[in-house]
Structure 1
Amino acid sequence: MSAENASNSQHYIAVQQADFDVAHEYAELRKDNRSDGAVVFFTGLVREMNQGSQVSGLTLEHYPGMTEKALQQIVADACSRWPVNRVRLIHRVGTLAISDQIVFVGVSSSHREAAFDACYYIMDYLKNRAPFWKKEVTSDGERWVEALDKDKQALDKWK
């Protein structure tokens, strides 16, 4: 779909249909990187149960241009809060099957606390502020997935 590097050459942000290779993304966070003592990453997958319904697949849609800009801002905000050196953020769109990878967020930093916090922050804000729309195929038919209260409340810890 689209891939765009954030303004910092150490950050990579992509919105794409293609799958990603976790080992490659981890290697990119470590490549020629002698200053960082921590790399933390999260990979989100399509699960077969959600909100009490059996799920057989999902479709992720986004608003090109707006989505990448929102992701860049989330990464920039995380980098302003913690001493983060590298970020790799990939979010897939299109039709996905059970167990397919949806999102990769990887962060490197000198220390583990900053890497963990920045990764968690990016995921919390991505879930709440990035313009993605998720439609699940369930045993009851198709449905658009609404944001959960727990996801909205997760932002409170970052205030």
Structure 2
Amino acid sequence: MSLGQVRIQAEDFDLNAELARLRADNPKVGAIVSFVGTVRDLNEGASVAEMELEHYAGMTEQSILAIIEQARQRWPVFGALVIHRVGPLKPQEQIVLVAVTSAHRGEAFAACEFIIDYLKTEAPFWKKEQTPDGARWVDARVSDDVALNKWKV
């Protein structure tokens, strides 16, 4: 696997298989840190029956690769994988996987958190939720912007 890999897909992913592939690439890996985001059944006080994710094909992948490259410039990581699902998803389904390998846990944790914080705010995805009151587009969260700001130097 190259330093950074991005997959945008409708299909679910197998966390254990993905982490095994990422680790198999480099015998120097001492740490793998992963984050899996899932669909919540409640958002902003409303029940969510389904979330539909859309993206801008090509542009989304390049945006995420640029985020991975920024992480690589900050920390000595061996590899990074981002899988982001699109299409309709139900509560408890997996949306995103961010996984990072490095020699040590500190770098892997920091790079993984950096990638997901940038992904939440900078990658071109659009989310629409189905609620009892009908469909609504999900706005950016202030908490995501706050998380992103801690990385700005």
Q: Shorter chain as normaliser: what TM range? A: over 0.9
5+ unaligned residues in a row in structure 1: which ranges? Answer: 1-7
Which of 19, 33, 36 aligns to 1:26? It is 19
TM-score with structure 2 length normalisation? 0.96
* Displaced runs of 4 or more, over 3 A: none
Aligned to 1:77: 70
User: How many aligned residue pairs are there?
Assistant: 152
Which of 91, 95, 101 aligns to 2:94? It is 101
* Aligned-partner residue type, residue 56 of structure 2: Y
Please say if 1:110 is aligned against 2:100.
no
Within 1, Cα distance between the matches of 2:21 and 2:117? 23
Question: What is the CA distance between 1:107 and its match in structure 2?
Answer: 0.3
SS at 2:57 equivalent? coil
Aligned to 1:137: 130
Question: What is the CA distance between 1:33 and its match in structure 2?
Answer: 2.4
TM-score with structure 1 length normalisation? 0.93
- State the Cα deviation string for residues 109-136 of structure 1 (Å, max 9, x = none): 0110100000000000000000000000
5+ unaligned residues in a row in structure 2: which ranges? Answer: none
SS at 1:124 equivalent? helix
RMSD: 1.0
SS at 1:158 equivalent? coil
